Amino acid sequence: MTFLAIGIWQIIIVVFTLLIPLMALISALTNQFQGNEKIMWVLVIILVPFLGALLYFLIGRGKVIK
C-alpha cells in the first residue's frame, strides 16, 4: 500500500498549485477593473490555473482601480 503514502513535498506542491490560483481568483473577483478586464482575468485564472495566477499577480494587480 505504498501508493497511498505521500510525502511532505507532494503535499507542498499540491497546496501551492491549489492555493496560488485560489488566491488570485479571490483577488480578481474582489477588485475593480475597467471594462471587461475582470472577466478576462477570471477566465485566464480558471483556464490556465497556475500560469494564469502568476500572470495576474505580475500584470493584473497593477491595473486595479483604487
pLDDT at position 3 is 61
pLDDT at position 5 is 75
Nearest to 58 by CA among 47, 46, 66, 45: 45
pLDDT at position 4 is 67
What's the whole-number mean pLDDT along residues 13-20?
A: 88
Higher pLDDT, 8 or 26: 26
Cell numbers 472577466 correspond to: 39
pLDDT digits (tens, 9 = 90+) for 21-62: 999 999 999 999 999 999 999 999 999 988 999 999 999 988
Cα separation, 9 vs 49, in Å, equals 20
Cα separation, 8 vs 11, in Å, equals 5
Cell of 46: 480558471
Angle (nearest 5°) at CA 52 between 46 and 56:
115
